[in-house]
Structure 1
Amino acid sequence: MIYLDYAATTPMSEEALAVYVESARTYFGNASSLHDVGTAANELLTICRKQLAQLIRGEEKGIYFTSGGTEANVLAIRSLAYAHRHKGKHIITSSVEHASVHAVCAQLEQEGFTVTYVPVDRFGQVDIEALEQALTDETILVSVQHANSEIGTIQPLQQIGELLKEKQIVFHSDCVQTFGKIPIDVKQLHLDSISIASHKIYGPKGVGAVYVNPSVRWHMWLPNTTHESGFRPGTVNVPGIASFTTAALEAEKKRETVQQNITELRRYFVEQIVKKQLPITVFEHPTDQLPNIVGCLVHGFEGQYVMLHCNRHGIAISTGSACQIGKQAPSKTMIAIGKEEDEAKQFIRLSFGMHTTKSEVEAVVSALEQLQKERMSR
Structure 2
Amino acid sequence: MIYFDYAATTPMSKEALHAYTEAATSYFGNSSSLHDIGSAANRLLDICRKELAALIHGDERGIYFTSGGTESNILAVHSIIQAHRHKGNHLITTATEHASLYHLFQQLETEGYDVTYLPVDRFGLIDIEELEHAITPRTIFASIHHANPEIGTVQPIQEIGKRLRQHGVIFHSDCVQTFGKIHVDVQAMCIDSLSISAHKIYGPKGVGAVYIDPRIKWNACFPNATHEYGFRPGTVNVPGIASFVTAAQHICADLINEQTRLEQLRQYFISLIHEKRLPITIEGHPEAHLPNIIGLSVQGIEGQYTMLECNRHGIAISTGSACQIGKQAPSRTMLAIGKEKEEAKQFVRISFGRFTTVAEIDRLVAVLEEICQHRKG
TM-score of the superposition, structure 1-length normalised? 0.99
TM alignment of 1:75-114, pairs within 5 A? 75-114=75-114
Distance 1:120 1:298 in 2: 22
Matched, 1:229 2:226: no
Shift of 1:97: 0.3
Provide the residue aligned with 2:12 in structure 1. Answer: 12
Matched, 1:163 2:163: yes
Report the AA paired with residue 270 of structure 1: I
Report the AA paired with residue 47 of structure 2: I
Matched, 1:174 2:174: yes
Distance 1:6 1:310 in 2: 16
Shift of 1:360: 0.6
Provide the residue aligned with 2:302 in structure 1. Answer: 302
Provide the residue aligned with 2:136 in structure 1. Answer: 136
TM alignment of 1:217-296, pairs within 5 A? 217-296=217-296
Provide the residue aligned with 1:62 in structure 2. Answer: 62
The DSSP-based 3-state class of the residue aligned with 2:30 is coil
Distance 2:144 2:123 in 1: 15
CA-to-partner distance for each residue in 1:175-224, whole Å, 9 max, x for gaps? 00000011111011111000000000000000000000000001100110
Shift of 1:372: 1.5
Report the AA paired with residue 75 of structure 1: L
Distance 1:194 1:150 in 2: 19
Provide the residue aligned with 1:205 in structure 2. Answer: 205
Report the AA paired with residue 250 of structure 2: E
Distance 2:339 2:332 in 1: 10
Distance 1:367 1:352 in 2: 17
Provide the residue aligned with 1:184 in structure 2. Answer: 184
The DSSP-based 3-state class of the residue aligned with 2:304 is helix
Report the AA paired with residue 315 of structure 1: I
- The farther-off stretch of 136-145 and 251-260 is 251-260
The DSSP-based 3-state class of the residue aligned with 1:350 is strand
- The farther-off stretch of 67-76 and 283-292 is 283-292
Distance 1:266 1:285 in 2: 13
Report the AA paired with residue 219 of structure 2: H
Report the AA paired with residue 336 of structure 1: A
Distance 2:87 2:106 in 1: 20
Shift of 1:256: 1.4
Report the AA paired with residue 124 of structure 1: G
Report the AA paired with residue 36 of structure 1: D
Matched, 1:29 2:19: no
Provide the residue aligned with 1:336 in structure 2. Answer: 336
CA-to-partner distance for each residue in 1:323-377, whole Å, 9 max, x for gaps? 0000111111100000000000000000000100001101110010001121232
Distance 1:274 1:189 in 2: 36
User: Does structure 1 conserve the Cα–Cα contact (< 8 Å) formed by 2:124 and 2:284?
Assistant: no
CA-to-partner distance for each residue in 1:96-130, whole Å, 9 max, x for gaps? 10000012112211211111101011110112121
- The farther-off stretch of 241-250 and 282-291 is 282-291
TM alignment of 1:359-378, pairs within 5 A? 359-377=359-377
Distance 1:110 1:33 in 2: 40
Distance 1:192 1:185 in 2: 11
Shift of 1:286: 3.0
Report the AA paired with residue 185 of structure 1: D
Distance 1:152 1:214 in 2: 30
TM alignment of 1:340-355, pairs within 5 A? 340-355=340-355
CA-to-partner distance for each residue in 1:45-79, whole Å, 9 max, x for gaps? 00000000000000000000000000000000011
Distance 1:116 1:257 in 2: 38
- The farther-off stretch of 259-268 and 309-318 is 259-268
CA-to-partner distance for each residue in 1:242-285, whole Å, 9 max, x for gaps? 00000000001111121111111110110000010100001241
Distance 2:169 2:373 in 1: 54
Unaligned 5+ residue runs, structure 1? Answer: none
Unaligned 5+ residue runs, structure 2? Answer: none
Shift of 1:289: 0.9
- The farther-off stretch of 100-109 and 60-69 is 100-109
Matched, 1:49 2:75: no
User: Does structure 2 conserve the Cα–Cα contact (< 8 Å) formed by 1:78 and 1:104?
Assistant: no
Distance 2:129 2:335 in 1: 20
Distance 2:325 2:256 in 1: 31
The DSSP-based 3-state class of the residue aligned with 2:291 is coil
TM-score of the superposition, structure 2-length normalised? 0.99
Distance 1:45 1:217 in 2: 23
Distance 2:184 2:253 in 1: 14
Q: Say how many residue pairs are matched.
A: 377
User: Does structure 1 conserve the Cα–Cα contact (< 8 Å) formed by 2:57 and 2:187?
Assistant: yes
Report the AA paired with residue 321 of structure 2: S
Distance 2:136 2:29 in 1: 48
Identity of aligned residues (%): 62
Distance 1:226 1:176 in 2: 26
